[in-house]
Amino acid sequence: MESISRISSLLENARELTLDAAQAARSTRTTTKSLPTAQLKKLLDSRNEREVLDGLRRVIAMMYRQQRTLPFFSSVVKNVASPNLEIKKLVYIYLIHHAEQEPDLALLSINTIQKSLSDANPQVRALALRTMSGIRVPVISQIVSLAIKKGAGDMSPHVRKAAALAIPKCYGLEPSTLPQLLEYLSTLLGDKQYFVAGAAVAAFLEICPDRLDLIHKHYRALVKKVVDMDEWSQLAMLRLMTVYARKCFPRRTRTVKPEDKSANLQDFYGEKVSEGPDEGDKLVVLDQDLVLLLNAIKPLLQSRNSGVVIAVARCYASIGTPDYVKLAVGPLVALLRSAQDIQQIALYNIVSVCLVQPDHFVKYASHFLVRATDTAPVWELKLEVLALIFPHSPIHTKSLILSELEHFSRGTNKALVREAVRAIGRCAQTDPSTASRCMRLLLGQITSLDGTLAAESLTVIRHLIQQDPQAHVGTVVRLAKNLDSATDPHARATIIWLVGEFAGINGEDNIAADVMRILLKEFAEESEVAKRQIVLLAAKVYLHHINREAEANKTENGEQPPLPSEDHPIARLWNYVLLLVRYDTSYDLRDRARLYKALLGVPQLATLMLLAPKPAPQAPSPSETRKGFMLGSSALVLAGGSGVHGLRGYEPLPDWVPEGMEPDPALRLEEGVRNEYGAEKRILPASQQLDEVSKAMPNRSNGEVDETKYSCYAGVNGKPCVCFRSNRSHLAINETTKRQKREEREPQARTIYQAAVREAAQQDGQRISPC
């Protein structure tokens, strides 16, 4: 009978395992067929845990498919006392989702959840605390506060982490509980477990980001734990420490004198100073605690989370020195090997850093070459980076960048062609030594059949000519020769404007009058935009003619010179232009002609309006509007044209605290054992203590025993003894005078070494005699 019962028990266990395996296999697939309400309630009310679990999974699936699951509230909540952990989890999920809709029924489960706070399983305690804080019913705020207090003192770090994460939820339910929550939060910030401290930092930023006085005594401990925290806690820590450094560490500088160049740049208090290349440079003096932070976050540059890498770069750019920013350049560039969306965000931050310190990115120029698979936002930012690093690059890199831009300026993508041509123009403006090559590249594009390429090239050429008109007289002549082949209306209009703008250069030898004469032959066939420029060209040419005639006919007594003769060819061309425009169909063109005719009646006024010198146009980088936004912020990506304040909710970094207004550095001293100078005493293992004492012994060198000069400290009353240590015997003749001197000089070393020798001899199975 006993064997039969054993066999039946084994069969029952096998059946249970089979059913569990089948249930687990079914749970991996989404339930597509919904059961009737009555059948679901039957599953939820069952005494079989497997049926209850199946019913709960179906209800949760319905809940996430946006189906109505509120009728099952009472049937689900009554399973909250189940000892099965999986059932508890599903009931808690359902309870958090529907507690606001049924607050009265949700309150019935609070007592059961409170009992779970005392469960022996820390996972159950943490789950109960998370659930209680997630039930958004204001009347339980005090209960949640007491649960947080209990969780903050729990032995399990997972429960303490749940308590830290519950603090913002409790504050959201009842803001009046803030004083108690701050007390719990201060305790959790000093927790020895890094994941508890990380959750406490995240809670701190949500409820009281301005209470930096809570951080002072935990500053150094938090900085040391940042490497071990999870990625989201690291993001919160870096955000907090960036603000903390701005408000607690003044920005000190010092001026390097000639005699300081070869001096040691570490001052009495050990503050590090970055060296400057020139005399009289102002160098930043970093606080010791700030250096501790900057060095502690250095390993985070190798994080797998791109957000952490960008946060470290933001920290270095905001509170560090250029040397620290240089450390973040390589990891930022490495993000370009990620997915397209991460590449785009990384490039926005790279451009922001490059606007301030472009020379750090020069050696990574090949990483910014445009690929065929790049999306439009990605290649736009890459071209911008290439243009920013261009003036700081060596000759071979400049040649590579220009070749790359020339290649894409001849492509079929009109948007890419436009950006490539504009990038060439920015390169020419920022580096005059390559302006001639850039000009040759652009002049070769103006005869292109692609109207976009020709128009953009001429716009960039116009900007370059306006910067130095006297040096580009020949360029204007060359452009005028291309009027016969240029077909794009905007390209023709740009060339005509350039000819008219510089019609006063070289006086009588200028080609503007001849260009006007040739253009008037085909005036009726020109586009309206070109006609407007032809009329403006005619007005400028005629005005220059009037001014030259006035200078030639000016009398000595200062009388008003007579009007120029109407028989001059330029005057006849001007009248011919007015005649052509009078019968044009464009209202705007006819109005412009009448305006110019009235202005030319008063040459002085016309000169001020038409011939006034125009400032040289600048083509800034497209991201100049984003300059100043904090790295890693949404405003940096989305608020390009929204002004200096960015998007709503954007919070800029605070200013550096003035020197003398910073908190006392003594507040950041860690609690613990210290010596009289405030430094921490090291707690070393016994083996390391023995090694240090052995090295400090006068008659020992690197732990080796000198058999001829060794004097044993294990002797008693000055009597000689024979010691055996590590299966090695040596005879130690104890000299009383030497031993007394050494005892006076090294009493602590003698005691430690004596105990170590005895312990080592006992471990080797030897005997010390007479010690």
**pLDDT of 699-721, one tens digit each?**
444 444 444 333 444 444 444 44
Residues 8 and 87 in one domain: no
Q: CA-CA distances (angstroms) from residue 431 to 157, 182, 362, 400?
A: 59, 57, 15, 15
Whether residue 318 is predicted with pLDDT greater than 80 in this model: the reply is yes
Which residues, 6 or more positions from 260, have their beta carbon under 8 angstroms from its beta carbon? none
Rounded distance between C-alpha atoms, residue 334 and residue 340, angstroms:
13
Whole-number Å distance between alpha carbons of 723 and 757: 8
Q: Helices 122-134 & 157-173, crossing angle to 10 degrees?
A: 10
508's tokens: 């009588």
Angle (nearest 5°) at CA 339 between 404 and 370? 5
Helices (H), 355-488: 376-389, 395-409, 414-430, 435-443, 451-467, 473-481
pLDDT at 688 (0 to 100): 53
Higher pLDDT, 700 or 507: 507
149 domain-assigned: yes
Q: What is the pLDDT of residues 109-131, one digit of tens each?
A: 888 888 888 888 899 899 999 98
* 132 touches 140 (CB < 8 A): yes
Is residue 59 assigned to a domain? yes
Any idea what the Cα angle at residue 676 is, between residues 674 and 677, rounded to 5°? 90
At 134 the pLDDT is 87
Least confident of 15-24, 25-34, 205-214, 342-351: 25-34
Where among 620, 635, 654 does a domain terminate?
620
Same domain, 534 and 571: yes
Mean pLDDT, the chain, whole residue set:
78
The one-letter amino acid code at 253 reads T
Residues 52 and 101 in one domain: yes
Same domain, 20 and 129: no
Structure-block tokens of residue 400? 């590579």
The pTM is what? 0.73
725 and 589 in a common domain: no
Does 13 share its domain with 112?
no
554 pLDDT more than 90: no
Whether residues 588 and 702 share a domain: the answer is no
- Six token digits for residue 158: 């997972």
By three-state DSSP, how is residue 166 classified? helix
Cβ atoms < 10 Å from Cβ of 683: 8
Domain containing residue 102: CATH number? 1.25.10.10
Percent of the chain with pLDDT over 90: 25
727 vs 92: which has the higher pLDDT = 92
Residue 481 has pLDDT above 50, yes or no: yes
Mapping DSSP onto H, E and C, the string for 82-139 reads CCCHHHHHHHHHHHHHHCCCCHHHHHCCHHHHHHHCCCCCHHHHHHHHHHHHHCCCHH
Higher pLDDT, 268 or 764: 764
What is the mean predicted confidence (pLDDT) over 652-678? 72
* Cα distance between residue 687 and residue 8, in whole Å: 59
Classify residue 514: in a domain, yes or no: yes
- What distances in angstroms separate CA 276 from CA 57, 258, 280, 290, one per listed residue? 66, 11, 9, 20
Residue 270 lies in a domain: no
- Do residues 461 and 420 touch, judged by C-beta distance below 8 A? no
Q: Do 125 and 18 fall within a single domain?
A: no
CA distance 128 to 418: 60
Looking at residue 92, what is its pLDDT? 86
Residues 221 and 76 in one domain: yes
Q: Poorest-confidence range of 31-40, 425-434, 638-647?
A: 638-647
725 within domain boundaries: yes
Q: Are 178 and 208 contacting, i.e. CB atoms less than 8 angstroms apart?
A: yes
CB 319, CB 242: distance < 8 Å: yes
Greater confidence (343 vs 101) lies with 343
- What pairs with residue 245 in β-bridges? none
pLDDT tens across 736-745, in order? 445 555 555 5
CB atoms within 10 A of CB 119: 15
Owning domain of residue 7 = 1-30
Rounded CA gap, 495 and 533, in Å? Answer: 9
pLDDT category at 331 given cuts 50, 70, 90 is very high
In a domain, 26, yes or no: yes
Report which secondary-structure segment, H or E, holds 761. helix 747-763
Of 96, 99, 144, 98, the C-alpha closest to 117 is 144
User: Please, which pLDDT band fits residue 746 given cuts at 50, 70 and 90?
Assistant: low
Instruction: Say if CB 239 and CB 205 are below 8 A apart.
Output: yes
Strand, helix or coil for residue 729: strand
Q: How confident is the model at residue 454 (pLDDT cuts 50, 70, 90)?
A: confident
Among 80-89, 613-622, 666-675, the minimum mean pLDDT is found in 666-675
- Tell me, rounded to whole angstroms, the distance of Cα 387 from its chain centroid: 22
CB 256 within 8 A of CB 273: no
Helices 451-467 and 489-501: crossing angle in degrees, nearest 10, is 20
Residue 747 CA to residue 757 CA, distance in Å, equals: 15
Residue 534 domain-assigned (yes or no): yes
* Claim to verify: residue 596 and residue 735 sit in the same structural domain: no
**What's the CA gap between 297 and 229, in Å, rounded?**
11
Question: Could you give the 3-state DSSP secondary structure of residue 284?
Answer: strand
Rounded distance between C-alpha atoms, residue 410 and residue 421, angstroms: 9
Residue 500 pLDDT > 50 = yes
Contact 50, 19 (CB under 8 A): yes
232-236, 482-486, 488-492 — which is least confidently predicted? 482-486
Tokens of 395: 């000759």
Of all helices (H) and strands (E), which one includes residue 489? helix 489-501
Same domain, 62 and 9: no
- Examine residue 333 and state whether it is found in any structural domain, yes or no: no
CA distance 585 to 582: 9
Backbone angles phi, psi at 372, to 5 degrees: -65, -25
Q: Is pLDDT at 749 greater than 90 in this prediction?
A: no
Whose CA is closest to 23, among 84, 92, 79? 84
Contacts of 716 (CB under 8 A, 6+ apart): 770, 771
Q: Which two tokens stand for residue 461?
A: 């050429």
Q: Could you give the number of structural domains in the chain? A: 4
Answer with the one of 620, 643, 668 that is the final residue of a domain: 620
Q: In terms of domains, do 66 and 207 share one?
A: yes
pLDDT at 214 over 70: yes
Helix axes 49-64, 85-98, angle to 10 degrees: 30
Domain boundary among 245, 277, 300: 245
DSSP code per residue over 634-701: HHHHH-TTS-TT-STT--PPPPPPPTT-SPPGGGGPPSS-B-TTSPBPP---HHHHHHHHHHH-TTEE
What element of type H or E holds 372?
none
Q: Residue 454 in contact with residue 447, Cβ under 8 Å?
A: yes
Q: Is the predicted pLDDT of residue 17 greater than 70, yes or no?
A: no
Average pLDDT estimate for 424-435: 86
Residue 30 DSSP SS3: coil
Mean pLDDT value of segment 322-344: 92
Asked if 702 and 752 count as a contact pair (C-beta separation under 8 A), the reply is no
Can you read off the two tokens belonging to residue 49?
């845990």
pLDDT for position 328: 93
